Amino acid sequence: MRGASRLLARRALELPEMARARTVAAYVSVGHEPGTGDLLEALHARGVRVLLPVLLPDNDLDWGVYEGPESVVGVPRPGRLTLHEPLGGPLGPDAVLGADVVLLPGLAVDARGTRLGRGGGSYDRVLARLAAADAAAALVVLLYDAEVVERLPGLPHDRPVQAVVTPSGTRRF
């Protein structure tokens, strides 16, 4: 898994959108998700402002700034995995609107760029917020190779992503 995390970070950092990004909205991986630790550290070392989500009681997301591994704390959530959230003060749900790249967790992405999330709707709200503001952030999903599939059912509110990054490479949509 550690090797996959390093490969994922390297591939994600090769994206032109990431190379010119000043602010990246990211997340700390949990459970069996592809590891994001190496990527977060590399972005932080580059001087990129990294925003991490804070889950609100209504499943919307607030955002805080990542300042290194010591700036993140595990927060147990009832009925969920422990989420790793930033310690700093909340910036508000609209902070994501300033991101140049938004890294999205997911269970799968299909050949059209349709992303399957975990079903809580948190990132659907983020994507709706970005769309309503006509934000130009690049939407990128980090997955394992087997999680890129031919076709997923889509819903009218789905917003396609621009790219999926896996340990073996990047696919653009």
- What pTM did the predictor assign? 0.94
pLDDT of residue 123: 95
Residue 77 near residue 83 (C-beta atoms within 8 A): yes
- 81-128: pLDDT as tens digits: 799 999 988 999 999 999 999 999 999 999 999 999 987 899 999 999
**Residue 71 marked ligand-binding:** no
Q: Could you give the 3-state DSSP secondary structure of residue 101?
A: strand
**Residue 47 marked ligand-binding:** no
**Where do the domains of the chain lie, and which CATH numbers do they carry?**
2-172 (3.40.50.10420)
**Residue 66 marked ligand-binding:** no
**Residue 120 marked ligand-binding:** yes
Amino acid 67 reads E
Q: Which residue has the tokens 């700036």?
A: 71
**Residue 17 marked ligand-binding:** no
**Residue 122 marked ligand-binding:** yes
Question: CA 146, 83, 118 angle in degrees (round to 5)?
Answer: 40
**Residue 41 marked ligand-binding:** no
Question: 170: which strand partners?
Answer: 165
**Residue 116 marked ligand-binding:** yes
The token duo for 172 is: 């653009």
Which residues of the chain form beta strands (DSSP E)?
Answer: 23-25, 49-55, 61-66, 72-75, 83-86, 101-104, 108-110, 115-116, 138-142, 148-149, 163-166, 169-172
- 126-160: pLDDT as tens digits: 999 999 999 999 999 999 999 999 999 877 778 89
**Cβ neighbours of residue 22 closer than 8 Å, sequence gap 6 or more:** 48, 49, 100
**Residue 5 marked ligand-binding:** no
